Structure 1
Amino acid sequence: MSAEVIRLNGVDLTLPASSGPVEILKGIDLAVSAGEMLSVVGPSGSGKSSMMMLIAGLERATGGSVVIEGVDFSGLNEDALARFRRDRVGVVFQDFHLIPTMTALENVAVPLEFAGRGDAFDRAAESLKQVGLGHRLTHYPGQLSGGEQQRVALARAFAPAPAILLADEPTGNLDGETGRQVIDLLFEMQSKHETTLLLITHDPALAERCGRQVRLRDGRIEADGANAAAAE
């Protein structure tokens, strides 16, 4: 049986607002094994992105526990969380979040340099070749198409060989055919690296490509299983 890499126990997330505290997540229980591909679906505002932010250590739970690869996030300060995320968790957003003043190669090398990798640029170049951009190393984001920018973001996420990849609507800003190509590449890279994948999507067909689907509604998990997306 595969090792457990994600464990959420009774997780709550409440955020302040001008009208009073807002409950975003309510008693979330989730366990994900190494190498598993999990889609997270549900209506807008159901808590999908917030759950991903907790798993990435970009947001703090206000109740319950978040344990990633056996590490309880409640015991880590912000610097330790940042180091853990840098080394073990890759994140791909709908917006590409590339640094506009850096080339594709420099963008991919950034997390590797922060990790003290002496081969940062060689590794970044190899990662870009894997996503079909070996000929675009010196191009800036403004010189790349949307699909190419998301490929750079994928290369950057996979370059440190993370245990977990979190993808939040990675094709949301791409046209249909370009989005299909990026998703095919995402699944290809996941298989090659045997990375645990959590994919947030509004697309039922895309959700069904993962082996398991979790449906959120109003901050709670209402379905969890291979056929959860069929309830859309």
Structure 2
Amino acid sequence: MTQPILSLQDAALSLKGNAGQVDILHGITLDVHSGDTLALIGPSGSGKSSLLMLMGGLEQATGGRVTALGRDLTAMGEDDLARFRRDHMGVVFQSFHLIPTMTALENVATPLELAGARDAYARARAELVAVGLGHRADHYPAQMSGGEQQRVALARASAPRPDILLADEPTGNLDEANGAAIMDMLFDLRDRHGATLVLVTHSAELAARCSRVIRLRDGQIAAPAHQDAAE
């Protein structure tokens, strides 16, 4: 079998809070292979988003090991992690995280410019067209609906052609119609660019479209099974 694109070996995450140390993830061992579509499901507080953050190097594991594309994320500093994400990962958040003072086109072009792409604006415009927002390229986030903002966020994440696309509750802030449209776009972007897709969701419909489903409970993998429904 080929080397996993993402691998966690006994990964743990503990954070210090006002009440002392809080153990969030315990002994997570998981391999994700190129081309997988993986849904992370489970009740609120089960550690789904924290696990996604470990996979993206947005949180540093406090135990065990996390590797992506053969690189040990647990051994990398913040600057190296930021460059690795820029070159290999796209991340989509529930709350969009668009830059309010930039137009849709500028938001999508920014990671391409940071990566040194000479055709950053042409590629950004093409991604906006792909998500049905070519006509909104010069609009600012405040001038767009939630569904449109999430589409801009998807275009921004996919424009650099990432190897790994991570999505944290990408339909969580959207109504049913916009949520369904974002689901379709996620899988379309994955198909067009060949990215490996890992997403956190409470949507049983979105989870059912993935090739694998992992359920978390109390910071641990409870049961990997296709038949599980999201909670």
Q: Which of the five TM-score ranges fits, normalised by the shorter chain?
A: over 0.9
Q: Which residue identity lines up with residue 31 of structure 1 in the other structure?
A: D
Q: Which residue identity lines up with residue 202 of structure 2 in the other structure?
A: H
Structure 1 stretches of 4+ with a deviation exceeding 4 A read none
Hey, what does 1:5 align to over in structure 2?
5
Q: CA deviation at 1:2?
A: 5.1
Hey, what does 2:126 align to over in structure 1?
126
Task: Give 1:80-99 correspondences, 5 Å limit.
Answer: 80-99=80-99
Hey, what does 2:101 align to over in structure 1?
101
Q: Give the whole-Å Cα distance in 2 for the aligned partners of 1:88 and 1:107.
A: 18
Name stretches of at least 5 consecutive residues in structure 1 with no aligned partner.
Answer: none
Q: Which residue identity lines up with residue 213 of structure 2 in the other structure?
A: Q
Q: TM-score, normalised by structure 2?
A: 0.97
Name stretches of at least 5 consecutive residues in structure 2 with no aligned partner.
Answer: none
Hey, what does 1:188 align to over in structure 2?
188
Hey, what does 2:16 align to over in structure 1?
16
CA RMSD of aligned residues (A): 1.2
1:79 corresponds to 2:79: yes
Contact 2:16 2:22 in 1 (8 A): yes
Instruction: Please give the secondary structure, in 1, of the residue aligned with 2:139.
Output: coil
Instruction: Please give the secondary structure, in 1, of the residue aligned with 2:98.
Output: coil
Q: Which residue identity lines up with residue 106 of structure 2 in the other structure?
A: E
Q: Deviations over 1:45-87 (max 9, x none)?
A: 1000001111111110000000000000122111000000111
Against the structure 1 CA distance between its residues 231 and 176, is the aligned structure 2 distance closer, same or farther, given a 3 Å change threshold? closer
Q: Deviations over 1:140-174 (max 9, x none)?
A: 11111111111000000000000111111111111
Hey, what does 1:69 align to over in structure 2?
69
Q: Give the whole-Å Cα distance in 1 for the aligned partners of 2:34 and 2:3.
A: 6
Q: TM-score, normalised by structure 1?
A: 0.96
1:42 corresponds to 2:33: no
Q: Deviations over 1:211-230 (max 9, x none)?
A: 11000000000111323x24
Identity of aligned residues (%): 59
Instruction: Please give the secondary structure, in 1, of the residue aligned with 2:148.
Output: helix
1:153 corresponds to 2:153: yes
Against the structure 1 CA distance between its residues 41 and 151, is the aligned structure 2 distance closer, same or farther, given a 3 Å change threshold? same
Task: Give 1:193-232 correspondences, 5 Å limit.
Answer: 193-227=193-227, 229-230=228-229
Q: Give the whole-Å Cα distance in 2 for the aligned partners of 1:135 and 1:211.
A: 34
Against the structure 1 CA distance between its residues 231 and 150, is the aligned structure 2 distance closer, same or farther, given a 3 Å change threshold? closer
Q: Give the whole-Å Cα distance in 1 for the aligned partners of 2:210 and 2:34.
A: 14
Q: Give the whole-Å Cα distance in 1 for the aligned partners of 2:162 and 2:66.
A: 18
Q: Which residue identity lines up with residue 67 of structure 1 in the other structure?
A: T
Q: CA deviation at 1:188?
A: 1.2
Q: Give the whole-Å Cα distance in 2 for the aligned partners of 1:174 and 1:2.
A: 37
Instruction: Please give the secondary structure, in 2, of the residue aligned with 1:38.
Output: strand
